[in-house]
Structure formats: C-alpha cells, structure tokens
Structure 1
Amino acid sequence: MLPRFEVARRLRPLDLLAPGMVDLDLDLEAAGARPVSDSHALPQPAPYVALVADVTGPATVALEAGGVRMSGSLGPDRRTGLVVSGAATTRHRSRRFGRVGRGAHVDAVALILTGPQLTLLTHDRDGWTGRARVDLLDLLDGEIDPHDPDWLASLRVSASGAVRRLRAGGFGQLGLRDLRLVSHADGTPYLRDGRPFLTATSAGAGFFATGHASVWELDPDTLDLTHRADLFARRGGKVYGDQAMHLVRDGDSWLVATSSWGSFRDPAVDEVHVEIARSDADLLDGRHVLDTRPLPLPTTGLHSVGVWDPHLVRVPATDTGAEGNHWLVGYVSASRFFVFHPVVATGADLDRLTLRAAATERRATEGTTLVPPSVAGGAWRVLASDGRDGRRGERAAYPVFDLDLRQQGVIDAEYHSNLPWPTLVPVGEELLLVGFDGTPAGGRLLGYGTHGDVVVARSVTGQSREGPA
C-alpha cells in the first residue's frame, strides 16, 4: 500500500546558460578584456547552445559556422529580430511579440540554439521573454544541419553594441518535465553521498525537438535540485537531444534508455522509438554524447505508431515466478498521435523482449514506471499518469497497476496540469513523489513545450486508495 502525499515544495530551475557549463565569459568592464566584437571559438558537443549578453542599450549577438551567420538584435526602437545569412539572407520578426514594451527595461539579450530552432529572448524584471524564432532545418534546406558534429565544432560567437558582458556555452533549460529516479538495475535508488539523482527533460524554447535530457541531484532535506549533467544521443552520425530518459546503474556501467523526441518533427512522417546506450563514463557530471542504438520494444498485436517513456528493471525470478532473473520494461505505445497507453514487456535479454501486458483501453496514459516491492509495500507495481484527455474515470490521476496492468487503485496525491509522472524517491522512512506541471515560461511566442515547474510531495500518515478501481 502506498501512502498519501502532500505537496511540500514547488521550484522552477530556469537557466538559459547552464551553470558550470560556461565556455566563454567576457567581462567588458574588466581590465584587459578582449573586445566582444571579436569572433570567439565556441565548439559544442550538441546543438544546445546559449549566448547571454548583459546590455545597457541596443545590441546584437551572433553565432556563425559553416558559412552561415545567425544573429539576434535589440534595436534603438525596442524592436527585436533575427537575421540568418548563408546562401541568402532572411530576416525574422514577430509582429505580436517582437517589440519590447515601453515600461520594460531590458538588461540582457540571449540567442539560443535548441535542436534545430534558433530563438532570441530579452530579459527584464519580469524574466525572459521570447521575441523571435526560426527553424534552421526548414529555413536552410540542407545548407547546414545543426545536428552535425563537424558544424557544431566550428561554432564561433560575437556581439556588438551596448554589451557589458558576454557569456556563452551549453544551454540549460526553461523548465523540467519527465522526471525519473536514477536507479540500480533492481529498481532501487542510486545514491552518491546519500543523495539520490533524477533525470529530466530540460525544456527548450518550443516543441519536442528543442528539449534534451539532463541529470539532477536532489537534496532530500531542502528538496533543492542541482544540475549535474546533460546527456545527448548520437545516431546516424548526428547528435540529438533525446528525452524521457531512464538512467540505470547496471554493474560497473550505465544503461541509458531514451525516447527519440530529439529527431521528432512531424507526426505524419516521424516515428518515435526508444534508443539505448551503455557507458563506463561518469554520467552524473558534465556533458556527454552517447552512441545509441534502437531498443526493440514489442508491440505484437497492438496498432502502434510509436513507443516512448522507457523504464527498465532487472528482477529476480522469485519476484514474478519467471525462470531465472529477467528484465521488465515499462513504456508507452501510441495507437495514433496522440492517443497512448502503458505497456509492460519482459525477457531474459533486452534485445529479445516479449509483450507481457498492455492497457489498450487507456487513451492518455504515460510515464510508465516499475516500482519494486521494497518501495511499493510488498509487491511489484506499475505506476503511470492519466492525462485529462482520457476517458471518464481515467482522468487526472496516478493509476496503480500490477505487472499485468490490472488497475489496483490510484495514488492519493494532487494531480497537476499536463501529464506529471509519478516518480517515487525513498528517503529514510518516507517517500517523496516527484512530478511536474504544465506551467510555461518565456512568453507566449514559445508556445507548448517550455513546461514545467517541479512539484515535490512528501508521504504523510494514511493510506492510498489502492484497491478495486
């Protein structure tokens, strides 16, 4: 039986430039600083880059590589815009959001590359606001590919105008979603100095392809989150920001399972699938590009247009009655975009899994999470999140299933906006329930994808509504 949970903390990590991942810092007020108008090398491992300029007036910031220059500017008339110069020059302004209001005092401008998207933002006392954006793949039509490692290695940065300081490096996040516990292969938490870790999708400046996977350290006392690492996927010679990650310590190495949202652009032609990698590197710190391969997740008997949200555990035979230790993998299968339901597969080898169960009656259920008996109270449980687009009686709740996806009840906890995943984190004698919501950031231009706030709940006295649903 799972306990009842009450919200203990809400927080919003928001950093355009990831702390600890700053590759260039030019302070023009410091003696001997190099001119900001010079072009400075800024090689990057992935297309998640941020330039942040502290300004006192009109200014321009720019990235260039492969014969293409991409700049964003704040003009003396408070108008903003992007200019992309390659074989041709194009200008991009937003009629509704491109002009800074008269009452706003802009103290910084930022140019960010998140996947294929270039975005200009301004900062004032109300925070960051998106002013202009453009999809480089659509615009340049093969002239460059921002996922190309050679192109990324040749990046350079410059700025001009009323710039006091220019910093550049890895992009951080506008919000977090898809939080998962970093675990051992048996599903128990991986701890370092007594502290658990979480993976998350670091929200970019828009739709799926602008996000990427990150790793966070959780302080169990203060419930603070500290950004520790960013993890990217390399496949087909290109680097992507895949998402919805599960990071698993398997013996002396890491298993990394991700959803291929980093290359998802059009539901009519793109199929989301799960990629997997193994690494001996310390993935809890720094920026890493991992060579991944597809993980074949079974959809036998299902009408499936894509699978995502992987969660992996290796369980002893005594737990489930199987012959020998074996893997259980939870994930989501979509019958169409975006109608999806939880699935559980099993097998002695991750490359030879068979379908165990699928809750095909569900229409908006994701975040499939396998919870060991030590956490769930004596039996393996599968947790998920029922979105508000589900059927009546299956909306805005955290269902609790057995391994055959027969519902046993729901978690007694507040359900937030969007589709918060029910991630349980054991801390001493209590449990934390870590989720997120759909709160946007960066203004209305950026639209869906910048969510959300992280919401942490603590277990309290009382029982859940587990039992007949």
Structure 2
Amino acid sequence: MTALASLPRFAPAGRRRPVDLVVAGSTLTQVLAPYAAVTGPGSLELASGDDRMVARYDGSAAWLEVTTGGRTTVHRSRRHASTAGPVREVGLTLTGTHLTVLTRGPGPWTARARVDLADLVDTRAEAWLAGLATDAPVAGRFGQLGLRDLRLVDGLPDDRVVLSATSAGPGFFDTAHTSLWELDRATLGLTHLSDVFFRRPDRPGAYGDHATHLLRDGDQWLVTTSTWGDFDRARPTVGVTLARTSADLLTGAHLLDTEALDLPVDGLGSVGVWDPHVVRVADGWLVGYVSATRFFRFHPVVAAGPSLDALVLRGAATGLGQTEGTTLAQVGGQWRVLASDGDARRYPVLDLDLREVGRLDAPYPSNIPWPTLVPDGAGWLLVGFNGRRTAGALPGYGTHGDVVFARSV
C-alpha cells in the first residue's frame, strides 16, 4: 500500500494516450463480453447466428446496417457520415450495446455512425458472443480510445507497477471496460496486459464494468468494481461488486463472477456508490468509495470493519459536491484519504473521519483525475488523466482521456 513520510510537491512529467481499436494479438475467441472490433480497408461485417452488423464505406461516406430477426435497418448520420476524402482504414466496434463505424487516415479514428442495439439483440448473452465471426483482416477484443480512472494494483512486488484503468469506448460510460497496464516509471511507457469483464450476481450476461481496484491478497485477487457497464441516464443506478479469483489477471482476457459488496451509506441519502479502494489493515479492512446524493452530485466515504461483509460507516465528506477517486494512503504513519475535487480543481487530503487536513500540491488536469500515487525510487509519481476527447464529435462525452503524469520534486 502507498506510504508517504510527508506530502511532496509535484511537477508535470508527461502524457500518454494509447489508442487501439483492436487489442494487438487478440482474436474474436477472446471476446468474453461485448467489446469487440474489426478493421480493414473497406466495408466490414460482424455476425453471430442470423444477426449481421455491417459497416459500409463507399469511398466518401460510412454508415451501419444491422440485420436481426430477418429485418435490416440502416443507420447513417446526416452530419458525420461523410469523410474529407478517401480513408486508409475502416473500423467497426461493438462496445456494450453500441455499434460504431469509424474511419482513419487522413487524421485519427473518427466515428461516422453509431446505433444502440439494446432493442435489437442481447449483445451481453454469452452464447451470442461465442458465435461472433468475421472475415475482416484484423479482428479481436476492443482496445481503447483513451484511459481514465487509473488506480495502482496493490500487493505486487515493488519492482513491478501495474495500473487498472477504464478503457474508454466511443460513447458514454456504458461503452467502456476495465483493463490492466504495466507502467515503466523511467519512460512513462504503458503496456497493455489484459482486460477484465464481469458477470453480475443479479442478472445474466457479461458486462464491461469499470472504475476498478485490484488487490493481491495472499494467493488470490480481490477485484472491486463499479457497475457502470450498463449505466442508463434515464434510470441511473451504480453499485459496487466484488470478485475473488486465483486466475492470472495480468495476461489475456477474463470474465469474473461477482457478488454485491454492501457499502454502508446510512443517513447519506445515497442513490449510488462507486470508485472502491480496498485496504487490509491490522484489525480488518478499510474501504474508500464515493456516494452520490443524486446524479451527478457525489462525495467521498470511508467504511471499516473486521471483514468485507461487516463494514460500518466511518466518515463521509458530504460538503463536497463533485469529488471522487477516493484513495487510501499512509502519510507520516497515519491513514489518509486522498480525493479529487472537480469543483475546486484540487486534491484534498482528509483523515479517516473525512475531515480535511491538507491537500496535494500538484497540477490538476481537466475532468476529475484520480490522485493515484506510485512509488518512484526515493520519490513519487502522481498518475491522473484529463477530459480530452477523441474520435470526433459523434461519440460525445466518455472518450477521455490522456494519462497525465507528475513527479515529486
């Protein structure tokens, strides 16, 4: 776990933005949840059984055609379908229930059309996913348009730094998923290791839940994550689940069974919880998380207990309105709570009763970057992210961001 003798000052150190529609070396047989992509020089198709999802490109515009139940629908954007000229590559992505066609060259990947398949086909059904097929030259797991919600994977040897992240998709939160990345502290290089997906305890299917923390606890992993994978802005709800596994999560793709993690919100008027951070301490457990009084007004919370199924509320910073990324760290031998305050654009530092005792002296990027601290020799790296979008205007919010680094000085 992160332990600091004192709170250092940080200076900007660099940025990274890995963008890949298809995870290098992956195949469709590794698609365990609805996060798949194909690329090629022209029109493309993904199919499962009698369902066909086609990206059309005629040299000047791109659109989608979807065939389900013997009926074909055409989805073409009036504003975004046309390209500035011939393109080098076409991409077709399935992220959650959303199908998107993108083009690249000249310029970066740009979304040209998108359709929500929720009313057409159950993309989360595992049997349907197992039947995915294509003749595209490149096909496999969907990668990412950006990274956010970066958190240190705890319990690994000191010479290895792995971060969990939310891999941004071409749209809102339900197009993203959880991924793991190895960090080279000297070069700030990021290497994609694996993708992790989840089954829910209360419904069938495979989900791209994210805002995740991994803790190596003895011979198993504890994986806590936020149920953003099917977030519906019309009927918003988010909770936290827990998975336990001995699988090698640092390679390949994994679909984990979960149980609900009951995080106490007594008296908080909570409508949702997310951003879990789990720490084993001498007398049990500490868990940091976020509680929302409405979408989107949220604040940090800490719970404690002898076990993860016997947690009680320890403290809540109810006076904060857009503060998340709740992170537990030891500073000067005491447990502190680090958080990210998007309203005041700062990183407050609080005690376990959620009283503010200081702040991180660090640059604050756009959006609400989490205050993730990584040991770096005698100093520290602060790993955050920003709100810079990509893939054009069509996907809107959710395609962020750059990974933003700062070093202690």
- Which category describes the TM-score, using the shorter chain as reference length? over 0.9
The yes-or-no answer on 1:79 pairing with 2:61 is: yes
Selected match of 2:392 from 431, 443, 448: 443
CA apart distance, 1:363: 0.6
The answer to whether the 8 Å contact 1:197/1:218 transfers is yes
CA apart distance, 1:80: 1.1
The yes-or-no answer on 1:157 pairing with 2:134 is: yes
For 2:245, the equivalent position in structure 1 comes to: 279
For 2:171, the equivalent position in structure 1 comes to: 206
CA apart distance, 1:20: 3.1
SS in 2 for 1:137: coil
The yes-or-no answer on 1:145 pairing with 2:122 is: yes
2:98 and 2:122 mapped to 1: Cα distance?
11
CA apart distance, 1:22: 3.9
Alignment identity in percent? 57
Matched AA of 1:269: R
The answer to whether the 8 Å contact 2:236/2:295 transfers is no
Matched AA of 1:283: L
Q: What is the CA RMSD across the aligned residues, in angstroms? A: 1.2
The answer to whether the 8 Å contact 1:208/1:265 transfers is no
The correspondence of residues 6-405 of structure 1 with structure 2, limited to 5 A, is 6-22=11-27, 44-53=31-40, 55=41, 59-76=42-59, 78-87=60-69, 88-102=71-85, 105-138=86-119, 140=120, 144-159=121-136, 166-184=137-155, 190-191=156-157, 194-235=159-200, 236-266=203-233, 268-316=234-282, 325-372=283-330, 376-388=331-343, 395-405=344-354
SS in 2 for 1:209: helix
Matched AA of 2:128: W
The structure whose Rg is larger is 1
1:270 and 1:447 mapped to 2: Cα distance?
18
SS in 2 for 1:19: coil
TM-score by length of 2: 0.96
CA apart distance, 1:68: 1.2
CA apart distance, 1:380: 1.1
The answer to whether the 8 Å contact 1:242/1:260 transfers is yes
CA apart distance, 1:326: 1.2
The answer to whether the 8 Å contact 2:225/2:240 transfers is yes
Structure 1 unaligned regions, length at least 5: 24-41, 160-165, 185-189, 317-324, 389-394, 461-469
SS in 1 for 2:267: coil
Aligned residue pair count: 401
Stretches (4+) displaced over 2 A? none
The answer to whether the 8 Å contact 1:191/1:197 transfers is no
The answer to whether the 8 Å contact 1:43/1:154 transfers is no
For 2:8, the equivalent position in structure 1 comes to: 3
Residue 396 to residue 44, structure 1, CA distance change in 2 (3 Å): same
TM-score by length of 1: 0.84
1:441 and 1:407 mapped to 2: Cα distance?
35
SS in 2 for 1:343: strand
Matched AA of 2:313: L
2:38 and 2:332 mapped to 1: Cα distance?
48
1:18 and 1:43 mapped to 2: Cα distance?
10
Structure 2 unaligned regions, length at least 5: 1-5
